[in-house]
Homo-oligomer: A and B are copies of this chain.
Amino acid sequence: MRDGFLLVLSGPSGVGKGTVCEALLDKRKDIKYSISATTRKKRPQEKNGENYYFLSLDEFKDKIDDGEFIEYAKVHGNYYGTPKSYVVDKIAEGDIVILEIDVQGALQVKENYPGAVYIFLLPPDMKELRSRIEKRATEDEETINLRMNNAKNELSFIDKYDYAVINDEIEKTVKKIECIIEAEKLKVTNIQGVKL
């Protein structure tokens, strides 16, 4: 059996990474979600070990020291990180592991995993992005402005990614990402031992 691969789904805050990721996971059994660890506060609907592993600052720092993250970063004052073992195990089993992650994290992953597949999710336009961030309604005006400025800066890193997908309609976005997965599987460089 051939190895799976790491699919990094990234883009600015508010672009819809979470929704797209959930829709992909609902649709396909061969995609596994890489659950991140974070020190940020749990939102009301979130569950520990499902949306995130919610860790204390000390717990998080211990894991950094032990090299247990494939990436970690401090964003908006909180730590976020990706535990290494799950990703490595699932890829070895032939699964596609999806990593839903901000741009800063994705760039860090790329330093260590250049062979992963990097998708940048784009908003249809910046007004739409602001509207989405505002609808989330868990942040104050200052935080919203900070996220908008971050988003503008993050867009400049798009050329570090393999693919860019405009997230205008969720069904279309999911189909596009499924095509990217299919095409990646068909790459000659990813095929081992074609039998004839």
Chain A interfacial positions (CB closer than 8 Å to B): 120, 122-123, 125-126, 155, 158-159, 161-166, 176, 178-180, 182-184, 186-188, 191, 194-196
Contact = CB atoms under 8 A, between A and B. Distances in A.
Among A125, A163, A195: residue with most chain B CB under 10 A: A163
Contacts of A180: 182-183, 186
Contact of A187 (B163, B166, B182): B163
A176 to B, nearest CB: 6
A165 B195 CA distance: 13
Q: How many copies does the complex hold?
A: 2
Contacts of A163: 183, 186-188
Contacts of A162: 187-188
A196 to B, nearest CB: 5
B196 A122 contact: yes
A16 to B, nearest CB: 15
A165 B187 CA distance: 9
Contact of A179 (B126, B165, B182, B188): B182
Nearest to A126: B196
